[in-house]
Structure 1
């Protein structure tokens, strides 16, 4: 949960709880504690008055009710003594100059403490303590207060932070939905003001990017198409060159230009291709490509092919596999191909015996018109678009193309495609 929303929520909740705890602690420090001595003095005075009245009444009013919790009794009450309050009241009686000593007890079944003391004639005077009893669940009340405070603060902060960071979350969700073709569906411009503003900005950005991409695609396609006419005229003129070597050089250069224009148009077509994908038997498709290339005397061998199905555009995927196999057969001297299923993916492996690619150039191999001929051996004809086209096709099929150098020499091209669901 390492997200901005989580971090901001945790920061705000922690800050509010710390402030609340500090304020509570400061309040407890500043509140005046209760004056226990004054309360003890008042209780001692009440006790003295009752004791004097009981002594003046004599034995006639002696044994009121042996089970009573207030009045006169012949024996002391039971229960548990409270040492602290007892000492306080006895100290107050001593300060008042009285010789009686009392005991405060907790009697089972009685909601208040009982003050009991023996009079001079041997009788016991019982008086209820006129003070509210201490709460029985004080710690639970404190724990409940802390819990309610924490939960309430967290809930409020989660709602507030979610509302404030919704534009960022919208941007994150939108970015995650961008497909391999870079296209983005328009977002509904509704909701709070901030969300509407973010949706409008994303839609404007998507529209401008789409216009820029379409403009670039049209430019490349138009340039590749328009080059065909002057190249055709130049090839006709080259046919009339009397010097055979010069004529061959011109024709080869024109063939190379035609190949570059054709590859550029194919790359543009793959970028704008929106044909629906279908189920494709990858092992059968690879077998057809290998047979086709072997028919034109290319060193391509199929080692192993497990029956696997993927979702792709058949013609485009065939073109991508053909480009990779041709690269291995031409630049790497030979190609060995295998197809297998590994952990929910179809893996196509094309290994060659060439010099490989320098690690420093590995990140640039998918760039259009990028050539690695100096590192791969003698120059061969090509536009430098084969890997770019294959990468575009495989990425559009929700797959990935990985190139690695073999320790013993050679390059390994691996195509990973998700298996088609049953």
Structure 2
């Protein structure tokens, strides 16, 4: 294929981006490592980050077929502990709609930080560990998340932002082969489970999870050990470094929303097609923020809903494009879009009226004065390849 895959919105390849070294733009622990390997650095979520190395198309396809190493150390790693007999998991249920108290040790769950109206402040992963609760939140929102959590959790709950920790993601069908050579036993993990490991005296927290739709792992470790561990992974023939550009095209094909684009405080879990994040016990108790509004939407349907789109032709439609009716009136909005290397055509996500959200519905899309056509599609656009209990 000869298509050009562009970086996601907010990751424009500014020729001067590598010189943007302002006090507001921070450097991640592996900054020099990325540059040495040809990483094209751009400012994103307050950090200098590698958007690509050899090219987004090649990196995307490598990850789908082999194993890609992503540096996602900009994400917020939070650890929750409590004093005075306070149950941390129970306290977190005041701000999350998922069943946190029911999580077993080493089990993790996708959840949402909700405001009082049921709007999504962030999406996140929460894991119960032996002595604490570990949470990974989005990099661009982590400080706002912490402020919200401090306002809504008991004073007895302590939040530790682990800014001394790096976070690496190893994704792809051969990720388990590469990682298990360094970390025997990691292959016993299944999707959405995690555990403590050690590599050359360095403690690691490893989960079998990710943001590409592929099998893979996320590895939390000390920043000072991150470069040596990354080098050990790259010494495995299956592994190459992958930038944020391919991470975006991979997650789009997998139908995974990006906070700040496909989700925000104006969207609810039902609008965002994330109803699975509302556990049965919590729905029945209706004891989470915005429960009355969210449960009414679940029962009656939201006014609009996030859908996937197969875009006709070869030209992608991108965030900011609109969904229009025959008369040209705006009825919806595109929130993510790009060319999908593994699918072989442009894809998008959009919010449309619920009446137009059925798969197979033809839509008109307006971008820069030009009309494109597309069809509502079920998501994910390609099958997820997570390794679950009992096999794939």
**TM-score, reference length from structure 1:** 0.20
- Relative to its length, the structure with more helix (as a share) is 1
Q: Between Structure 1 and Structure 2, whose CA radius of gyration is higher?
A: 1
Higher relative CO (Cα under 8 Å, sequence separation at least 6) belongs to 2
- Relative to its length, the structure with more strand (as a share) is 2
